[in-house]
Amino acid sequence: MVHHRFLSYYIRPRACFILLAIFLLASAGLSSQVINLGFPPVFNYKKDVYKAGSQNWDIVYDSTGYTWFANNGGILQFNGYQWTTYKMPNETIVRSLALGDNGYIYIGGQGSFGYLVPNDKGAYQFVNLSQKLRAEDADFEDVWDVIYHDGIIFFRTDDNVFGFVNGTLKSLWSSRKKLNYLGVWKSELVLQDSDNNLYSYAKTGFVPRKGAGRFDKGRISGAVTIGKDTVLITTIANGIFYVSENDLLPWKTSNDALLKNSIIFCADSGPNGSIVLGTSFNGLVVIDKYHRIQDVVQKKNGLQNNSVLSIRCTPAGNIWLGLDNGIDLVELLSPVRNLYPDGELQGTGYAFASHQGRLYFGTNTGLYTLPLKSFYTPAEKTAFERVAGSQGQVWNLTSSRGKLMMGHHDGAFSINGTTAQLQLKHNGIWNFVSLDADHVVSGYYTGFQLWNTSKDQWEPVAGFKESSRILYQQASTLWMAHPYRGIFAFSIEELLQKN
């Protein structure tokens, strides 16, 4: 008979988490390694939440903390809690936005452009600049780019560019040749026409660009400055290029084929020297400073859909995505990452361990593993393997005496690589706690088992029948907490003498 002291103290049962997550992996001794395993948290904002159109074409944020979205139903303003919609006078689609140094939000819409300015009550009102155009310039469809550069606001349509400065509005593109792109390359404003010729803005208009004056790799979709002097150019279907003195050269990544097949629709600079891409087929793609594709965040791991129309990185490292249907916020730098070791089963996670160069994840569907690495490609992140013989509920993973032990509904198992070997056939092993150099106690559904590791023998501890899921050793005492029956204290010396 095992003697124990009973303390009448109620504790609440431990809550299980729904998604298996890694919190820096510090407890596994991996804090010094860079781990990009798993997927960052994603917050979804559906159109019935922000109460406007489905498509979101552009994003800016201002110094007051507001984030603004160019939406099919108008201009959306979000303060972190509340959504407000400002409609265009003709209630048409808004395609593009820019923030001026005066704090105004400049807007490019369908058939009109202008800016929002707050009145004396703080409500924003739309000022229509396109009404100032001459009749021959006013016949345009969409304003695809609005850019603030060198004190001037530029509005690009399909065949014209308008400049607004000091209250004056004028046309800057007299040829009316079709245009593909307008963007800032470090300190240079660059225009691409439909014949892939490049132009730079020079005081009064656009002139042929010096150096690389033509880009025949297709339509430019974005430009990102990284570091002090590197300008990267993204294209719709041909990947990424960098601007050299006289040419635009391929910027190689770890998977150029993925980028070319994704359709890069928009781009921005991300945290820690990364760049973030919004694609039409593969959602958000994150490329680190070593040119490695670090993350691909898609519908299957958090996004509402895979078609990203606009992208903006905040100073805190969060990524706003304007989608073809909805808005998402990706917490790229979150210390918590979501993992689905069992794929589409997405069972509950209960245990995690790092052992002999592998990571192990215990779920209600079995034990899953993959090699421990400092960096995982998108394909490697989902290449989990179920450990043979581990099917069913896993409760615990503990490294003991150089072995990795698994507490399982079907008993106690030792784990060797990708194989589980049964050590004790017993219904419901919760845990393993070392008592001394040769003994480990294991709690199960109706008591304890004592494992003599030197003899590799298991013996039940007689006289105690309570479920022993929560065990803790303190000096010469073994504590057990039961969610309904209280806390029990056992003399370790007595346990070892009687067994």
User: From CA 139, how far away is CA 156, in angstroms rounded?
Assistant: 13
pLDDT digits (tens, 9 = 90+) for 125-175: 999 999 999 888 888 999 999 999 999 999 999 999 999 999 999 999 988
The pLDDT, as a whole number, for residue 424 is 93
Domain holding 116, by residue range, is 42-333
Average pLDDT over residues 402-411: 94
Q: Which residue among 285, 314, 333 closes a domain? A: 333
Mean local confidence (pLDDT), 200-215: 92
- Residue 15 pLDDT exceeds 50: no
| CATH number of the CATH domain containing 62 | 2.130.10.10
- pLDDT of amino acid 231: 95
**What does the pLDDT look like over 423-444, one tens digit per residue?**
999 989 999 999 998 899 999 9
| Measured torsion, CA atoms of residues 137, 143, 148, 149, in degrees rounded to the nearest 10 | -60
Given pLDDT bands bounded at 50, 70 and 90, which one contains residue 16?
A: very low
Same domain, residue pair 25 and 59 = no
Shared domain for 16 and 67, answered yes or no, is: no
Quick one: how far is CA 394 from the chain centroid? 28
189 and 99 within one domain: yes
Look at residue 266 and tell me whether its pLDDT is greater than 80.
Answer: yes
DSSP string, 247-264: -EEE---TTHHHHHHH-E
* Residue 123 pLDDT level (bands cut at 50, 70, 90): confident
Residue with tokens 């370790």: 492
Contacts made by residues 279-282, CB under 8 angstroms, sequence distance 24+: 279/306, 279/308, 280/306, 280/307, 280/308, 281/306, 281/307, 282/258, 282/306
User: Looking at the predicted structure, is the pLDDT value of residue 20 above 80?
Assistant: no
The pair of structure tokens assigned to 150 is 């060198």
Asked if the model's pLDDT at residue 228 lies above 90, the reply is no
Least confident piece of the model among 1-5, 91-95, 222-226, 296-300: 1-5
Query: How far is the C-alpha of 391 from the C-alpha of 104, rounded, in Å?
Result: 60
- Indicate if the pLDDT at residue 279 is higher than 50: yes
pLDDT for residue 63: 87
Q: Is the pLDDT of residue 249 over 50?
A: yes
Q: For residues 355 and 475, state if they share a domain.
A: yes
Which range among 188-197, 270-279, 348-357, 447-456 shows the weakest confidence by mean pLDDT?
447-456
Strand pairing category for 152-156 and 161-165: antiparallel
| 158 and 209 inside one domain | yes
> Number of structural domains, the chain?
2
> Which helix (DSSP H) or strand (DSSP E) does residue 379 occupy?
helix 378-381
Long-range contacts of 44-51 (CB under 8 A, 24+ apart): 44/302, 44/303, 44/304, 44/326, 44/327, 44/328, 45/83, 45/326, 45/327, 45/328, 45/329, 46/304, 46/326, 47/325, 47/326, 49/83, 50/76, 50/78, 50/83, 50/85, 50/327, 51/83, 51/85
Instruction: Please provide the distance, in angstroms rounded to a whole number, between the alpha carbons at the two ends of the chain.
Output: 10
Last residue of a domain, one of 333, 367, 390: 333
- For the cut 80, the answer to whether the pLDDT of residue 59 exceeds it is yes
pLDDT at position 19 is 41
- The pLDDT score that the predictor gives to residue 70 is 98
Shared domain check, 61 and 33: no
Mean pLDDT for the stretch of residues 318-322: 97
Distance CA 187, CA 274 (A): 20
User: Do 290 and 351 belong to one domain?
Assistant: no
d(CA 165, CA 176): 21
- pLDDT category of residue 363 using cuts at 50, 70 and 90: very high
At residue 4, the pLDDT reads 54
User: Which strand (E) or helix (H) includes residue 48?
Assistant: helix 47-50
Q: Tell me how far apart the alpha carbons of residues 84 and 318 are, in angstroms, rounded to a whole number.
A: 21
Report CA 23 to chain centroid distance, whole Å: 15
Q: Are residues 305 and 378 in the same domain?
A: no
Residues 319 and 387 grouped into a single domain: no
Contact predicate 471/479, CB 8 Å:
yes
Domain boundary among the residues 301, 333, 365 is at 333
Indicate the pLDDT class of residue 31, thresholds 50, 70 and 90: very low
State the pLDDT confidence band at 499, using cuts at 50, 70 and 90: low
Q: Is there a single domain that holds both residue 109 and residue 148?
A: yes
Of 34-38, 216-220, 280-284, 477-481, minimum mean pLDDT range: 34-38
**Residue 90: what pLDDT?**
83
**33 CA to centre of own chain:** 19
**274: CB partners within 8 A, 6+ apart:** 286, 287, 288, 289, 294
Query: What is the band of 34 on the pLDDT scale with cuts at 50, 70, 90?
Result: low
pLDDT greater than 70 at residue 30: no
By percentage, how much of the chain surpasses pLDDT 70? Answer: 93
| pLDDT for 412 | 95
Helix (H) / strand (E) containing 493 = helix 492-498
Task: Please indicate, yes or no, whether the overall pTM of this predicted structure exceeds 0.75.
Answer: yes
Domain co-membership, 276 together with 406: no
Is residue 203 located within the same domain as residue 274? yes
Q: What is the DSSP letter of 47?
A: H
Residue 109 has a pLDDT of 95
